[in-house]
Every structure is written in C-alpha cells, then in structure tokens.
Amino acid sequence: MGQAQDFTAGGGGGVKEVSYPAWGGLWPSPPHNLTADASPPHPDGVPSSSPKQMMTGPTRTAPAYPTVAELRQLFDASPDVLCVLDPGYRFTAVSAACRALWGYAPEDLLGRHLFDGFHPADAAAARRAVDSLQGGAPGTSFEARQRCADGSFAPVLWSVHRDASGTLYAAGRPAGDGNAFRSLVLLQQEALLHRQQEIEEELRRSNERFRLAARSDAIYDWDLSSHKLHWGEGLYAIFGYQEAELQMEQWIAALHPAESAALLAGLDASLHNPAAGNWEAEYQLRRPDGSWSFVHERGHILRDPAGKATRMVGRIEDISERKRRETELRKLSLITEQTEDAIVVTNAQKETTWVNAAFTRLTGYSLEDMLGRRPAAVLEGPAPDPALLERVDAYYRAN
C-alpha cells in the first residue's frame, strides 16, 4: 500500500497518533480530514490551529478517526461489491467482494465500463436508470445480470448514487428470491422511466408543432409591464420585420391611419376590462417596403389575481389573399346583379347555387326557388310552362 505517514496531534497525556498508509490501491482518495498537511477538525467544531500550537495548548483527546487501513478493511469486508466509477461509468475502485461473487480480482475490473459486464438484454434498461442521475435524481436502483469470470451470469441488485462532480458510488448485491419487493420497485422505476420518455417525446412533438405554427403565423408575447414584444420566426418570414423593428411604438406607427384610433381604443378597452380574456381584430399593417397587408390578430390576455393585464400572447395572420378574393367576389356580384343577362351558377352536380336578379325577372323564379334544382329541369321540363316561355320570348324581343 505504500509508506506509512504519521500525524501527531494534541499534547501531554492526550496525544493520539493517527497513522495511515500513503494512498494507493483500488479505492478512492482519503477523506480531506485525514491528509498529512491539515489538522483534524476540533472536537467542539472550532477549526484547529497548527500541530505546533495544538501541542502547546490544553490537553485534549483527538477524535478517534478511523485509519485508512480500517476504512480499507470495511471496504473489502462488505459482502456487497462496493465500487466507484468516473463520470464515464468506468470503474476506478472495486471492493474485494467481486472475487467471491463474480470470480474477478478487483484489479481486473479497473478501467472497464460498468455496462460491459451486463447481460445484453439488461444493459439498455440499466443504462437508462443510471443516466437518469444526470437529471438531478439523487440515486437509482436496478437489477441486471452480471457476467462472471466463468462466463455465467449472476443476478445483481445495484444501488447507484452520484455526487456533484459526476462521480458515481455503487453497491451491487446478489438478487435472489428474497428480493421480490425490490423487483417490484425496479419494475415501477422502469415504468416511470418509460412514461418519462413518452412525456419527453410528446413534448418534442408539441414543440415541433409550435415551431411549424410559428413559421406560418407571427407569434408574439407582449410583456405589458415593459411593453417588450417577443416575436416568433414568422414575423420576418411573413411580414419582413426583424424583432427589434416591430416593438409597440413601431407597431402603432405601422397601423393604417384610418383604422389606428378605433383599433387602439378597442385594444385598450379589452386590456382594462377584467372580464376580457381575448382581443381580436382585423386591420391593415404596413410592411417595411411600404406596401399594406390585411391581417387578422387574436391575442389571449393574462392577468394577475387582481385582474390587471400583465401579458398578452397571440398570433397575427396575413389574410391579404383572402381579402383580395372577397373584393373580387363583391365586384363580380355587383356586375352580375346589374347586368340584364340571366345568370345561373351551378355546382359539379349541376344543381343551382345562385341566380342573379335578371334571372328572377326573366323566369319568375327566385334564388330560394332554384337552390338545389337543375336549371334544365325547370326550364326544359316535359311540359314547359307556356307563360314562362312567353316571358322569355318577350324578354329577348325587347332586348
């Protein structure tokens, strides 16, 4: 084990010699309170002075700290395999029990990966259990079959803990018939790990859906206390603005002059109404190039317990194309209403969906009369209405 080092503390008849071997072998570095260049803690919890000062001070009996040899005896006397692993899951210290339980000398395992000796069917679940410690869990337990030196596998119940530096401290003991309760706990842990993975996958998909939505609409989060607007990716993709270019002051300036006063008044009324949970509006927004977009905005208002609005989270959708189609439809409707020609609109099944006023004047059939009917069945039936034919003939003679 190396050359022994001595540390003498105390004075008079209270002197106690603490001796331990120089560090080496197959287990971790000594505790900080057993190093040769530092005094043991004062029995009353007060930091000790230097060894020289202690020897000239009042006589006290030093605490009976176990020696390194005693700690080593405890380490190797354990019926369980005690071991220390680095953050990469490789053995840096192994107790002597591995020889009796698995047939390996401790030095045979140094530097080897923890999971290398596990049965292939157990390694993945064991890895998930140990990896869970990186998320902040204080410890974990699992059962895995350990390969022995003779090639057989021994069931082992593991308990693993991790410190702040990433070092792992593990204990493995034989898992026999008396471990039914432990096996149940392990099954529950495995189920919890599986559910955790499902939740993480659901969260990943939800985030992906949000990212896709954020690209198609301008998603925002408005902090009403600071008036800071946080925008999603869609702001630039849809409207051409960077986040810093469309804060509240710039947004107000980008509103159409004919709409801004009424729009801002409606927004202010909703924010100051404790019962209002949403605000919705359609308006025109000027783009950086000076062109105008019709937009639809819907925001959800978040409030404090007193009902004061603190945030508004929402989306702005570009509806310019929809507005363009609506405008064209209105123009077409005006034209068809004003023309003297009878117009009938049908669907793919040749059923009437719309007629203009000229059709009603010519035939006497209103839109309600014609909806869902085939024009040919009305106008070209087996026995056409003579009065209808007379009206049609008179209409075309006059025009």
Q: Which two tokens stand for residue 46?
A: 């007060």
pLDDT given at position 48: 45
Query: Greater confidence, 308 or 55?
Result: 308
For residues 327-337, average pLDDT: 73
How many CA atoms are closer than 13 Å to the CA of 316, on its beta-carbon side? 27
When the candidates are 3.40.80.10, 3.90.1150.220, 3.40.1440.10, 3.30.450.20, the CATH number that belongs to 217-323 is 3.30.450.20
pLDDT at 177 over 70: no
Q: Sorting pLDDT into bands at 50, 70 and 90, what band is 213? A: low
Fill in the amino acid letter for 23: W
pLDDT at 222 over 90: yes
Q: Sorting pLDDT into bands at 50, 70 and 90, what band is 160? A: very high
The pTM of the full predicted model, rounded to 2 decimals, is 0.39
- What is d(CA 95, CA 78) in angstroms, rounded to the nearest whole number? 8
- Same fold for the domain at 80-200 and the one at 339-398? yes
pLDDT at 37 over 60: no
- Domain map of the chain by residue range? 4-71, 80-200, 217-323, 339-398
33-37, 70-74, 86-90, 388-392: least confidently modelled range: 33-37
How many CA atoms are closer than 13 Å to the CA of 174, on its beta-carbon side? 13
Q: What is the mean pLDDT of the chain?
A: 77
Decide: 144 and 158 in contact? Cβ < 8 Å: yes
When the candidates are 3.40.50.2300, 3.40.50.170, 3.30.565.10, 3.30.450.20, the CATH number that belongs to 339-398 is 3.30.450.20
Query: Greater confidence, 40 or 130?
Result: 130
CATH 3.30.450.20 fits 80-200, yes or no: yes
10-24, 80-94, 245-259, 327-341: least confidently modelled range: 10-24
Q: Sorting pLDDT into bands at 50, 70 and 90, what band is 390? A: low
- What is d(CA 136, CA 12) in angstroms, rounded to the nearest whole number? 49
- What is d(CA 32, CA 50) in angstroms, rounded to the nearest whole number? 16
92-96, 289-293, 386-390, 391-395: least confidently modelled range: 391-395
pLDDT at 194 over 90: no
